[in-house]
Structure 1
Amino acid sequence: MKQWLQIFLTAGLFIGVNQHVLAEDSLVDQRVEDELKTADQRFVITPHKVNYILPYTYNDSPNVDPYITLSKDENAEEVIDNAEAKFQISFKFPLWYNVFGDNGHLYFAYTNQSYWQVYNKEISSPFRETNHEPEMFMLFNNDWEVAGLRNSFWGVGAVHQSNGKSGSLSRSWNRLYGTMVFDRGPFALGLKAWWRIPEDEKETPDSPEGDDNPDIEDYMGNFEVTAAYGLDEHMFTLMARNNLQNPNKGSIEFTWSYPILGNLRLYTQYFNGYGESMIDYNHHNQRIGIGVSIGDIL
């Protein structure tokens, strides 16, 4: 059973802890131990990526261009507030254990990330953007030693991501990816690389079929590196995404969290770069937010 539960690490190699992590403890092993406690409870939903709500975030340069184009109103840039709420809901569940003898475990996961103009009463506080990300992945247990780190897991998967909109606001892409996770004590490192599945070119700019964002890899890249470090009850994570080509845009995201009540943690997030959301894939954002998370997952 413990071997099976190790696969509850996400395909993107997101690692986390819900309780105190000692210096000699492994973040990966702690995650496995935490999920063992709920393994036999039929109605427990297992987290995939971190589940959080940031009631207040501030973006110094909101992306207004799509809305100006849509409304054809020169004053549209005044509609989007700098302050908004941001939240993420992410879960997964197993489809098939031990596909290849005693290894290889198939999962389905879904992540919803939303940006809510909750303080913008002038336009009735709409959801500015909501991204949907269903995925299927296969994860394998491993115990290789590489440069002093344990290569705990590797996996492959397929993921669709879109904002569920139409017309000029539509954004989407499909990818195949590979992942690996390494850990040693309070440090964990996740590597993820992907290949975008090609789409047909649009026949006209207004055509409902075809690629809505053919240059998305220039901004969202084709790989990301995510690191986590547990210091007593503090959890620090850093994500860097890039493509190492021209044009080279990329992004970084830094988070810090600290337990405040049970599995509820104070959660802060700083993002700088391109691709924070689908509608903003080619827009440079600098956002800082504060809120709470349930547990803490890289």
Structure 2
Amino acid sequence: SRPFRTTDHEPELIYVYPLSLSLPAGWNWAYAGAGLVHQSNGQSLPLSRSWNRWYLMTGLEKGNDFAVTSRIWKRVKEGALNDDNPDISNYLGRAELTATWNPNRIHTLSATVRSSLGATPRGAVRLEWLRTLGDGIGGGRSNLRLHTQLFSGYGDSLIDYNHKRT
């Protein structure tokens, strides 16, 4: 195979607290949590991109049909000499909101919006469609899926985090 241009990775330490609190209109507050995430592309300078951030997250559900999740984060400060990308929060954002709809057992549609929440509005939108392929053991839902994605904005990959892509 040919060399990879980038190999982004994102290990996380996550704490999730299950809630199961009833909300109006049949919604359920399913969980809240916090995490620490490191995101890096594994490259050496001048192509190195990495950052660490703390985040808070929560999720709401309405049966098996709808889910809304959100995360808001704060970058962990680095010293000026060690920071490969001091402006990364202005492009990869500070918060995201994802809405998911399962119209039936075969299809899943999802939209994610990410925002810099800054004076210069930057962020991204990702639309996804997943389709289950075949049946699982005993006629249940298969875990094999077709995944189609459309992305527009900043941060599709770390190497080009400050370039808008569609």
State the TM-score, normalized to the length of structure 1.
0.51
Q: How does 1:244-263 map to 2 (within 5 A)?
A: 244-261=117-134, 262-263=142-143
Aligned match for 1:226, one of 89, 98, 113: 98
Letter in 2 for 1:128: R
Offset at residue 144 of structure 1 (A)? 2.1
Partner of 1:235: 108
Partners in 1 of 2:24 and 2:40 — Cα distance? 38
Q: Go from structure 1 to structure 2 and tell me whether the alpha carbon gap of 1:147 and 1:214 turns closer, same or farther (over 3 Å shift).
A: farther
Partner of 1:137: 14
Deviations 1:32-67 (A, max 9, x none): xxxxxxxxxxxxxxxxxxxxxxxxxxxxxxxxxxxx
Larger RCO, structures 1/2 (Cα 8 Å, 6+ apart): 1
Offset at residue 146 of structure 1 (A)? 3.7
Structure 2 segments unaligned to the other structure (5+ residues): 135-141
Residues 1:265 and 2:137 are matched in the alignment: no
Letter in 1 for 2:127: F
**Partner of 2:86: helix, strand, or coil?**
coil
Aligned match for 1:176, one of 54, 65, 75: 54
Partner of 1:275: 155
- Max Rg structure: 1
Structure 1 segments unaligned to the other structure (5+ residues): 1-123, 203-209, 287-298
Flag the structure with higher helix content: 1
Deviations 1:220-265 (A, max 9, x none): 1100001100011210011100022222110010110111233211
**Partner of 2:90: helix, strand, or coil?**
helix
Offset at residue 147 of structure 1 (A)? 4.3
Partner of 1:211: 83
Deviations 1:82-105 (A, max 9, x none): xxxxxxxxxxxxxxxxxxxxxxxx
Deviations 1:107-158 (A, max 9, x none): xxxxxxxxxxxxxxxxx73211111111111111102234432110011111
Number of matched pairs: 156
Partner of 1:153: 31
Partners in 2 of 1:134 and 1:268 — Cα distance? 24
Partner of 1:188: 67
Partners in 1 of 2:23 and 2:118 — Cα distance? 27
Would the aligned equivalents of 2:6 and 2:43 in 1 still touch at CA under 8 Å?
A: no
Q: How does 1:93-112 map to 2 (within 5 A)?
A: none
Partners in 2 of 1:244 and 1:134 — Cα distance? 24
C-alpha root-mean-square deviation of aligned residues, in Å?
A: 1.3
**Partner of 1:199: helix, strand, or coil?**
coil
